[in-house]
Amino acid sequence: MGRRTAQAASTDYVSTIHEGNYGYGVANMNKNKLIQSDSAVSEVVGYTLVFGIVVLAIGLIYVTGIPALQSTKDATQFKSIEQGFMILNTDLSKVALDQSPVRTTKLGTAEGGMLASDPAACNISLKIFESGNEQFNDTIELGRIEFVSGVGSISCENGAVITRYGSGSFMTIKPRMFKSNQDPIMFSLIKVNDSSRSASGGISQITISNPRFNESLFNTPEVYENGEMEIKVDSEYADSWARFLSSEFGATFPDPLPDSSTGWSDKISFDKLVVVEYVVSVDIW
């Protein structure tokens, strides 16, 4: 019995050793699995990727979105100034035609632009013949009021409003120069005789008034009958002037046009030509 008890004890001892070794092995395996686990690494990589995507998105918005918003803002402001020039042109005509002694127009100008008047910026040259004899050959400085920005430019020249984007321009309001089958050719020439300018980024005020001095070349109105004329316009908006004169009077100009000029037209026949010249003073501040 003592031998059996000793054997049982020995068996229990061996079993205990095996169980201990097994438990140690299991614990060691779990420890190795924990050390070799990628769960923690996956979370760090995931957070890094998300953070990188957020930073990249913010960068793309900053690089592309903000300039796009600024471009839209500039285009909207430019359109508003263009509408303001239409009002300005109406005021200019009212003063020129003696319908009002003075008119003031306020324009909200955009950052980075410039509003200015220049009496030598737009010139019109005329050659007028009656019965083959030259009656007039001179250049009239009409001048202009112009706003220039990074978007484009808008100009008021001789009662016309012209807008330019890039290298091309178009006339939004035509001048008082026309011809019909029943009526004579009518040329209304409106001269700006002052140079003035205003910085942009705020409200600019343009005052148009009767001239301080008058240097008319014509005895207004000047009337010519049964003759021909040639015309040339020197302006940065010459392409618009060439299209207008071709459409209204059938004038033909050189192709391509010279730089900043229409070049001389061919001769335009008329039964009667009436030329009326006006002069206005312009102050901008």
**DSSP string covering 248-265, please?**
HH-----SSPPTTB----
Residue 72 lies in a domain: no
pTM of the model: 0.74
What pLDDT score does 243 carry? 96
Q: What angle do CA 101, 197, 161 make, to 5 degrees?
A: 65
**161 and 40 assigned to the same domain:** no
**198 and 273 assigned to the same domain:** yes
What pLDDT score does 3 carry? 44
**173 and 274 assigned to the same domain:** yes
Cβ proximity of 160 and 171 under 8 Å: yes
Cβ proximity of 158 and 244 under 8 Å: no
Cβ proximity of 100 and 118 under 8 Å: no
Tens digit of pLDDT at every position of the chain (285 positions): 444 444 444 444 444 444 444 444 444 544 455 445 555 556 767 778 888 888 887 777 766 766 666 667 777 888 888 999 999 999 999 998 888 889 999 887 766 788 999 999 999 999 999 988 999 999 999 999 999 988 899 999 999 999 998 878 999 999 999 987 766 899 999 999 888 887 666 788 899 998 755 566 666 689 999 999 999 999 999 999 999 999 999 999 999 999 999 999 999 999 999 999 999 999 998
What pLDDT score does 219 carry? 67
- CA-CA distance, 281 to 190, in Å (whole number)? 11
The number of domains in the chain is 2
**54 and 85 assigned to the same domain:** no
Give residue 33's domain range: 2-61
What pLDDT score does 67 carry? 66
Tell me how far apart the 2 most distant CA atoms of the chain are, in Å: 159
Residue 73 lies in a domain: no
What pLDDT score does 72 carry? 72
Residue 94 lies in a domain: yes
**117 and 242 assigned to the same domain:** yes
Give the residue from 12, 27, 61 where a domain finishes: 61
Q: For the chain, state the CA radius of gyration.
A: 41
User: Which two three-digit tokens encode residue 103?
Assistant: 């008119």
Task: State residue 196 phi and psi, 5-degree precision.
Answer: -155, 155
- CA-CA distance, 93 to 202, in Å (whole number)? 25
What pLDDT score does 197 carry? 82
Residue 166 lies in a domain: yes
CA distances from 83 to 118, 151, 175, 230, 279 (A): 21, 15, 17, 33, 24
**42 and 93 assigned to the same domain:** no
Task: State residue 217 phi and psi, 5-degree precision.
Answer: -90, -20
- With a CB cutoff of 8 Å and minimum separation 6, the contacts of 125 are 138, 139, 140, 231, 232, 233, 234, 264
- CA-CA distance, 91 to 280, in Å (whole number)? 11
Please provide the DSSP assignment of 124-138 as one string.
EEEEEEETTEEEEEE
**166 and 53 assigned to the same domain:** no
Specify the residue for token string 């471009």: 71
- CA-CA distance, 114 to 100, in Å (whole number)? 27
Residue 69 lies in a domain: no
**22 and 143 assigned to the same domain:** no
**193 and 271 assigned to the same domain:** yes
**137 and 213 assigned to the same domain:** yes
